[in-house]
């Protein structure tokens, strides 16, 4: 037993920098071409997708190294291999390599590399590499040609009035989407590599003259400290970007699949993080009020955008607290219900075998099971799950006397409200269960105590030194023009009313 406990402690024990971070060893190329090729083959264990095209170029030995299906074969043949065979090479390998770079190749993305680590990275990113015998420098050529999904409408960030272009998996395509929308030379892209094994590229995107230099420096520091083997999704790096002050269900890192949303956030001074292979972008700093902002708010009239904004805030509290309040009043304070409603609720409670709290929790678990099964199963089967679940949880369960109709309606309304704010679905789902338990055990006082705890937790959070509740607390000049009320564009674009204590020049317009 003690051995088991020690093993668990060892797993979760924070490792020191000397244990976790190892210096990358650099292995430089050899002058002999065959030695280099043997080293590459041994490193890849003669993998089937490694392609090495050895050639005789006017008496000098050469090779083109690439990974199958990651390069454009037509461009490789026409712009690289064909010009190499048509050129007369001298006996000086270094001079010949300079001639290939400056006179022969018909591509623009060409650079020198000197280590095997650089070679492995570039060829697995879709580059081709030219090597010559007698030279310890090679040329990498950007002729990527791997297949990828075409640009399409995002599935999660759906808008009525706006672009239908969403991010895709290749990071360079996503960078081009941002550059095409924001034609500003101050828009800066900085590429870094994360993952000891995956070597995943990430890109920081921000406006140099608007983004806070302190936040940029702090973000880079946190990214450099990440020690992880693989980065296969944006969520892998989110915990490293959040301020480590207490535990909270709410995230201070935003995520979106829309390029226009990212451009709006960048214009406010935020920093976007693109991850290669992920069709979404992370946004830092990210504030609590931004969970209730969408791009449609800035396309509709201000009065309607204000109405929908307040509807979202109301839906947030309903989704989080309604089942708990219902359980608390039904258990401890039934006299607070209107008379006709009290008769219905009392009759349903008396006709079911479970207590009101147990019934409410059971329904929430069943709804979550239905949602998860419909989400993970193939789409045709997902429709069948929805139909069967609706029949089971609906009229059949009520007629069988397993659940009460008022409880079913309350839980259904709360869950539907949680879909209005998709960014907050995860914390709302957990808090809904917590409020139900608190209300069922301690009544209204339990609801009030838990609400105060959640409120204090939100107010105590910060994101890169900026209060998570900004611009509500602390309140700056012009802070409330895009929170509960969405002002018109003349007010939002007024640079004389900049919001204080914010990373950018204003709030709004980016959602």
- The phi, psi pair for 136, rounded to 5°, reads -95, 25
Neighbour-count burial of 180, counting CB atoms closer than 10 A to its CB (0-12 exposed, 13-18 middle, 19+ buried)? exposed
In DSSP notation, 57-112 reads ETTEEEEEEEETTTB-HHHIIIIIIHHHHTS---S-HHHHHHHIIIII---S-EEE
Q: Are strands 200-207 and 187-194 parallel, antiparallel or unpaired?
A: antiparallel
Structure tokens at 389: 């679940």
Alpha helices in 111-229 (DSSP H): 116-123, 171-181, 213-224
Residue with tokens 């995520």: 255
Spatial separation of the C-alpha atoms in residues 286 and 296, rounded to whole Å: 19
**Does the residue 500 lie in any domain?**
no
The CA-CA-CA angle for residues 78, 82, 83, to 5°, reads 105
Last residue of a domain, one of 246, 267, 297: 297
Alpha helices in 193-248 (DSSP H): 213-224, 238-241
**Does the residue 470 lie in any domain?**
no
Residues 258 and 396 in one domain: no
Spatial separation of the C-alpha atoms in residues 129 and 49, rounded to whole Å: 15
**Does the residue 498 lie in any domain?**
no
Residues 207 and 337 in one domain: no
Last residue of a domain, one of 272, 297, 322: 297
Nearest to 270 by CA among 190, 203, 226, 215: 215
Residues 332 and 426 in one domain: yes
Facing residues of 282 across strands?
Answer: 255, 273
The CA-CA-CA angle for residues 147, 152, 158, to 5°, reads 145
Question: Within 10 Å of residue 238's Cβ, how many Cβ atoms?
Answer: 17
Spatial separation of the C-alpha atoms in residues 254 and 231, rounded to whole Å: 18
Q: Are strands 462-463 and 466-467 parallel, antiparallel or unpaired?
A: antiparallel
Spatial separation of the C-alpha atoms in residues 159 and 162, rounded to whole Å: 6
How does pLDDT run across 265-303, given as a tens digit for each residue?
999 899 999 999 899 999 999 999 999 998 888 888 888
Spatial separation of the C-alpha atoms in residues 384 and 35, rounded to whole Å: 60
Residues of the chain with pLDDT under 50: 2, 4, 8, 11-12, 14, 16-23, 496-511
Spatial separation of the C-alpha atoms in residues 130 and 95, rounded to whole Å: 14
Is the backbone peptide bond immediately before 474 cis, with ω within 30 degrees of 0? yes
Residues 212 and 337 in one domain: no
The pLDDT value recorded for residue 432 is: 96
**Does the residue 468 lie in any domain?**
no
Residues 248 and 105 in one domain: no
Residues 340 and 262 in one domain: no
pTM: 0.84
The Cα-based distances of 495 to 19, 481, 492 in angstroms read 50, 13, 8
Residues 137 and 183 in one domain: no
Residues 293 and 310 in one domain: no
The Cα-based distances of 313 to 279, 307, 411 in angstroms read 28, 10, 18
Spatial separation of the C-alpha atoms in residues 472 and 507, rounded to whole Å: 11
Residues 292 and 311 in one domain: no
The pLDDT value recorded for residue 425 is: 93
In DSSP notation, 291-302 reads GG--GGGGTS-H
The number of folded domains in the chain is 3
**Does the residue 472 lie in any domain?**
no
The pLDDT value recorded for residue 391 is: 58
Contact call for residues 66 and 51 (beta carbons, < 8 A): yes
Neighbour-count burial of 199, counting CB atoms closer than 10 A to its CB (0-12 exposed, 13-18 middle, 19+ buried)? middle
> In which domain, by residue range, is 82 found?
33-142
How does pLDDT run across 314-336, given as a tens digit for each residue?
999 999 999 999 999 998 988 88
Residues 107 and 236 in one domain: no
**Does the residue 511 lie in any domain?**
no
The pLDDT value recorded for residue 287 is: 93
Spatial separation of the C-alpha atoms in residues 357 and 438, rounded to whole Å: 9
Spatial separation of the C-alpha atoms in residues 96 and 90, rounded to whole Å: 7
The pLDDT value recorded for residue 392 is: 64
Nearest to 297 by CA among 34, 119, 488: 488
The pLDDT value recorded for residue 4 is: 46
The pLDDT value recorded for residue 41 is: 92
Residue with tokens 């170029």: 57
**Does the residue 394 lie in any domain?**
yes
- The phi, psi pair for 273, rounded to 5°, reads -125, 115
Contact call for residues 130 and 62 (beta carbons, < 8 A): yes
The pLDDT value recorded for residue 247 is: 82
The CA-CA-CA angle for residues 420, 421, 423, to 5°, reads 145
Residues 83 and 117 in one domain: yes
Last residue of a domain, one of 277, 297, 317: 297
Residues 204 and 347 in one domain: no
**Does the residue 156 lie in any domain?**
no
């Amino acid at each position: 037993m003690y051995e088991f406990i020690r093993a668990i402690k060892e797993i979760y024990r924070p490792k020191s920098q000397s244990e976790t971070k190892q210096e990358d060893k650099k292995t430089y190329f050899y002058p002999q071409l065959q030695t280099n090729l043997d080293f590459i083959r041994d490193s890849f264990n003669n993998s089937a997708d490694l392609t090495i095209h050895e050639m005789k170029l006017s008496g000098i030995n050469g090779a083109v190294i690439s990974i199958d299906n990651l390069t454009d074969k037509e461009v490789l043949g026409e712009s690289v291999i064909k010009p190499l065979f048509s050129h007369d090479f001298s006996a000086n390998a270094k001079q010949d390599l300079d001639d290939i770079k400056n006179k022969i190749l018909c591509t623009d993305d060409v650079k020198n590399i000197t280590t095997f680590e650089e070679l492995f990275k570039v060829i697995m990113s879709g580059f081709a590499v030219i090597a010559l015998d007698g030279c310890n420098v090679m040329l990498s050529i950007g002729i990527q040609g791997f297949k990828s999904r075409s640009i399409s409408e995002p599935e999660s960030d759906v808008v009525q009035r706006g672009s239908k272009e969403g991010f895709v998996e290749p990071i360079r395509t996503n960078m081009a989407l941002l550059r095409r929308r924001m034609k500003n030379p101050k828009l800066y892209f900085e590429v870094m590599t994360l993952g000891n094994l995956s070597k995943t590229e990430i890109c920081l995107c921000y406006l140099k003259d608007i983004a806070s230099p302190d936040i940029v420096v702090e973000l880079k520091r946190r990214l450099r400290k990440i020690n992880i083997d693989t980065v296969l999704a944006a969520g892998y790096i989110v915990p490293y970007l959040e301020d480590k002050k207490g535990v909270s269900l709410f995230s201070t890192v935003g995520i979106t699949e829309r390029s226009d949303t990212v451009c709006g956030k960048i214009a406010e001074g935020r920093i976007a993080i693109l991850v290669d292979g992920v069709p979404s972008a992370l946004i830092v700093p990210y504030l609590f009020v931004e969970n209730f902002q969408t791009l449609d708010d800035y396309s509709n009239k201000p009065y309607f955008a204000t109405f929908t904004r307040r509807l979202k805030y109301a839906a947030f509290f309903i989704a989080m607290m309604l089942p708990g309040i219902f359980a608390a009043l039904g258990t401890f304070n039934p006299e607070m219900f209107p008379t006709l409603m009290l008769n219905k609720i009392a009759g349903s409670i008396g006709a079911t075998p479970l207590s009101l709290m147990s019934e409410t929790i059971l329904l929430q678990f069943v709804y979550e099971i239905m949602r998860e099964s419909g989400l993970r199963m193939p789409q045709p089967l997902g429709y069948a799950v929805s139909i069967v679940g609706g029949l089971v949880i609906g009229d059949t369960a009520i007629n069988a006397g397993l659940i009460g109709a008022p409880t079913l309606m309350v839980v259904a309304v709360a869950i539907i409200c949680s879909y209005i704010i998709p960014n907050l679905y995860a914390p709302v789902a957990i808090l809904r269960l917590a409020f139900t338990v608190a209300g069922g055990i301690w009544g209204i006082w339990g609801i009030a105590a838990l609400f105060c705890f959640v409120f204090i937790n939100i107010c105590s959070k910060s994101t890169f030194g900026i209060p998570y509740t900004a611009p509500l607390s602390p309140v700056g000049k012009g802070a409330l023009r895009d929170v509960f009320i969405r002002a018109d564009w003349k007010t939002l674009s007024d640079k004389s009313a900049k919001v204080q204590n914010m990373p950018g020049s204003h709030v709004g317009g980016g959602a």
